[in-house]
């Protein structure tokens, strides 16, 4: 199946008031697992490669080209997305490689500088028919994102979306990146107000810290794209640990990475079921 535009997948989900899973790829086994899980669920999916992952591999292209190949071979719609890019050069490289969307993160900048930088990226990407996600509000460490005052304001969000012409907005509603417990307290009323205020899909970052029940509630309230990374990484790593502990002399990586890949595929299928039918 040809590579699917992120916008096509995401806007269809928004119209149906369902969610779409966006899962991070750290190595090729992740991409294989995520697509296998999506195929089993018969649901579209978004594969994400972050700037941190590109830095880990020393370059974006090797993992990106493999991920794009896996996406194109899938029998369900699959998009490939650059996640949390702060580098404009990396955004341009992703566009040239064939990514269907990018998330440009200028949220650390003062508001006006965030607007200007994001608008420039959006103008560049739209010429290439590449969908752009941006971030407004703090979605940082656990303490900061759970502080009562750290939330995205609906009026500011609407003004930001209008000024930048972004296609989707990641908002701060109570979740946090890299959580190892699933007890984030989401503000569902705020999600509803943001959904009403904005004409573009909302994106939930830090979804690994959100329970199954609350993921469904978030989608029902108006969230569309749901990013999950840490939850799958924990499962991948724990499966590897179990197999290595059971066979200390094991040396063939395929013997422990393979089961980890299967575990992630099974969990992706389960999560897509939750996101598709909140």
Q: Write out the catalytic residue numbers.
A: 83
Distance CA(164)–CA(166), nearest Å, equals 5
Q: How far is CA 207 from the centre of its chain?
A: 9
**Half-sphere exposure in the Cβ direction for 256 (13 Å, CA):** 19
- Phi, psi of 157, deg, nearest 5: -65, -45
Q: Under DSSP, is residue 15 helix (H, G, I), strand (E, B) or coil? A: helix
- In 35-166, the DSSP E strands lie at 45-50, 78-85, 101-104, 131-136
Instruction: Report the alpha-carbon distance of residue 94 to residue 76 in Å, rounded.
Output: 22
* CB of 210 closer than 8 Å to CB of 218: yes
């Amino acid at each position: 199946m040809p590579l699917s535009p992120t916008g096509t997948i995401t806007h269809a989900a928004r119209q149906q008031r369902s969610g779409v899973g966006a899962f991070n790829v750290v190595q090729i086994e992740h991409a294989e697992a995520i697509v296998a899980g999506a195929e089993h669920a018969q649901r579209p999916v978004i594969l994400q490669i972050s700037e941190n992952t590109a830095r880990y591999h020393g370059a974006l292209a090797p993992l990106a080209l493999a991920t794009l190949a896996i996406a194109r071979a899938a029998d369900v719609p699959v998009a490939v997305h650059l996640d949390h890019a702060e580098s404009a050069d990396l955004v341009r490289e992703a566009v040239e490689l064939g990514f269907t969307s990018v998330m440009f993160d200028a949220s650390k900048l003062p508001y006006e500088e965030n607007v200007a930088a994001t608008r420039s990226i959006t103008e560049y990407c739209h010429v290439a028919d590449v969908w752009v996600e941006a971030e407004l509000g703090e979605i940082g460490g656990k303490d900061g994102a759970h502080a009562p005052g750290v939330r995205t304001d609906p009026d500011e969000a609407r003004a930001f979306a209008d000024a930048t012409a972004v296609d989707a907005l990641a908002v701060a509603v109570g979740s946090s990146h890299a959580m190892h417990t699933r007890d984030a307290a989401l503000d569902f009323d705020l999600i509803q107000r943001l959904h009403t205020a904005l004409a573009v899909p909302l994106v939930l970052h830090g979804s690994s810290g959100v329970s199954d029940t609350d993921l469904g509630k978030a989608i029902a309230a108006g969230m569309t794209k749901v990013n999950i990374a840490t939850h799958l990484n924990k499962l991948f790593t724990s499966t590897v640990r179990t197999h290595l502990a059971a066979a200390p002399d094991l040396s063939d990586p395929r013997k422990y990475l393979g089961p980890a890949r299967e575990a992630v595929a099974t969990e992706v299928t389960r999560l897509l079921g939750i996101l598709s039918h909140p």
